[in-house]
Amino acid sequence: MILNLFTLSLMKWYPCFIFIFFMSAIGCGQQTTQKQEAASPIKQHSNNNPVETKPPNTTYNPAFEGQTRVAAIKTHTPYTVTLLATGLGRPWGMAQLPNGQFLITEKSGFIYLLDENGKQLEKITGLPPVDHNGQGGLLGIAIDPQFEKNRIIYWSFSEADAQGNHTAVAKGNISNDEKSIQNARVIFRALPSLKSNLHFGSRLVFDSSGYLFVSTGERSILEGRKQAQWLNSGLGKIFKITKEGKPAPGNPFIKNKQAIPEMYAYGIRNAQGLAIHPQTGELWETEFGPFGGDELNIIKAGNNYGWPVITYGLEYNGNKIGDAITQKQGMEQPVYYWDPSISPSGCSFYSSNLIPEWQNNLFIGCLSGQHIIRLQLQNNKVTGEERLLTDKNERFRDVLASANGALYSITDSGKFIKISKQ
């Protein structure tokens, strides 16, 4: 008997019943195939209608054509969706090792080591304590570019102290038996600490020069929100650091005594997605807006991305934010935004040529949207949007485009999913 992913999602509600009834008939590794009609992989627009059909929450107008609700596109290459694993608790971030194995962070403070087929090999412990209340916990993860020589990984997490908590970055070595982290140490803290369990960020990604980008949130509460505009606060920022947590050479504020030297960009609300474009090397970011106004940005050194001064969203109670403006001189516009919200989390560029129509497209895991977004890009503009896996009723926390041509995703319900060419 084949159990589809939708049925599997019910396991969290009816675990005993499902287990007894289906134990002898199912396991992980199930596959469903999306059969699409043959068509040119380049000519992808079927019509001019956007994928979003719900009315926006605001009456704000975009700053330029194509900034929101571009034409829908559709993948024509047949692909297969495979459920690799379930029961992963509260997974948040993932990275792939050079040997193809996966590291998946679990919010309570440990890392799963899985093989390429989703089989759990180890549960890696020994990380510093995390504050996993609310949106906090063990968050983003990145592999050292020289991992095969030094076995070093990096992770971000919410760290508690006497003043509250904050986003921190740590590093350590995976032990030879792959059961623990050795020599763990915190290399960077985004201060000040606040008493909030919301908006920690935080993704990690290395650039081609071996410097580490880190995203942080502004902690949601009003005390933190305003600090997204402060150059001396670590809240609501993108940082660029060395492997030891020091300012990367050439950082835009490194000579400004009133600013944090590790800071690369500011005016960020809550960025849970960072990815390097495979052709241009530019840093792209996905960011939660409030009630509407989720953003996609290209992060440039020294730029101000506007929060909370400009936004395409509203307060959750429907009130306008600040002066209710969407543009201001000296503040960057998002490349693209969504209204209503889709809650964009982890993102990844597809660089393989296995599915040619996906090459250099950006994939974004969506939480409230319960789908994976595919964005077609041209000259740093979004030219097409597609929503994948809309029938799975899952909150997609992170996505990873592998060099093997497959796309992987983790969900808030603890699933590990693979999308690959049929």
Stretch 259-286: mean pLDDT, rounded? 98
**276 neighbors 299 (Cβ within 8 angstroms):** no
pLDDT at 69 over 80: yes
Establish if 420 belongs to a structural domain. no
Is the sign of the CA dihedral 66, 70, 76, 82 positive or negative? positive
Distance of alpha carbon 421 from alpha carbon 408, whole angstroms: 12
Confidence of residue 225 (pLDDT cuts 50, 70, 90): very high
Establish if 268 belongs to a structural domain. yes
Establish if 334 belongs to a structural domain. yes
Decide the pairing of beta strands 79-85 and 164-174: unpaired
Q: What is the count of structural domains for the chain?
A: 1
Catalytic residues: 199
Establish if 176 belongs to a structural domain. yes
Confidence of residue 41 (pLDDT cuts 50, 70, 90): very low
User: What are the φ and ψ backbone dihedral angles of 392, each rounded to 5 degrees?
Assistant: -95, -10
37-49 burial code (b ≥16 CB/10 A, e <16): eeeeeeebeeeee
One-letter amino acid identity for 328? K
The residue segments making up the domain with residue 127 are 43-69+86-357
Q: Using CB atoms within 10 Å of the CB of residue 166, give its burial: 0 to 12 exposed, 13 to 18 middle, 19+ buried.
A: buried
pLDDT number for residue 44: 40
User: What are the φ and ψ backbone dihedral angles of 179, each rounded to 5 degrees?
Assistant: -110, -15
Establish if 77 belongs to a structural domain. no
pLDDT at 413 over 50: yes
pLDDT at 79 over 60: yes
Establish if 35 belongs to a structural domain. no
Percent of the chain exceeding pLDDT 90 equals: 89
Confidence of residue 32 (pLDDT cuts 50, 70, 90): low
Measure Cα distances from 97 to 146, 151, 180, 240 in Å. Answer: 11, 10, 16, 22
Decide the pairing of beta strands 102-106 and 91-96: antiparallel
Report the CATH number that the domain containing residue 65 is assigned in CATH: 2.120.10.30
Distance of alpha carbon 413 from alpha carbon 393, whole angstroms: 10
pLDDT number for residue 415: 98
Q: Rounded to two decimals, what is the model's pTM?
A: 0.90
Establish if 106 belongs to a structural domain. yes
Establish if 100 belongs to a structural domain. yes
Nearest CA among 238, 325, 343, 237 for reference residue 287: 343
Chain segment 4-23, per-residue pLDDT in tens = 433 333 333 333 333 333 33
